[in-house]
Amino acid sequence: MTILHVHGILLWSLEDMVQGKRKKPMQEVAISEFKAKCLSLLEEVSKTRTPLRVTRRGKAIADVVPAASETEERSWIGSMSDSIDIVGDITSPVIDIDAIEALKN
């Protein structure tokens, strides 16, 4: 899972968790170039599905990743259904109520 924090916004991708997918090499671009060519670079990321790393003085400040399709975004919903069995009472305290000192008068 990839989680990015860019200007107060959390972005995440489950794409790298899918087995068998080969990661594409990430292209790097200086922030000044990104600012000048932003729309064309975003279009290139969308078409080629290759991520782009924006740098300032050689240090990464943001990653631009291709948007996931609607089906990819929703594929994780329900993926854990029927994978757990609840046995016993899960709402009652583990210990006897009388043994809790904070409840004693």
Q: Is pLDDT of 92 > 60? A: yes
Q: Is pLDDT of 45 > 60? A: yes
Q: What is the four-CA torsion angle of 30, 35, 36, 39, rounded to 10 degrees?
A: 110
> How much is the pLDDT for 8?
58
Q: Does domain 24-67 sit in CATH 3.40.1620.10? A: yes
| Extents of the domains making up the chain | 24-67
Share above pLDDT 70 across residues of the chain, in percent, rounded to a whole number:
70
Q: 16-20, 66-70, 97-101: lowest mean pLDDT where?
A: 16-20
What's the chain's Rg over C-alpha atoms?
23
Confidence of residue 14 (pLDDT cuts 50, 70, 90): low
Tens digit of each residue's pLDDT (9 = 90 or more) over 46-57:
899 899 999 999
DSSP string of 35-52?
HHTHHHHHHHHHHH---E
> How much is the pLDDT for 20?
47
User: Which residue in this structure is represented by tokens 């959390």?
Assistant: 10
> How much is the pLDDT for 4?
61
- Average pLDDT of the residues in 69-88: 74
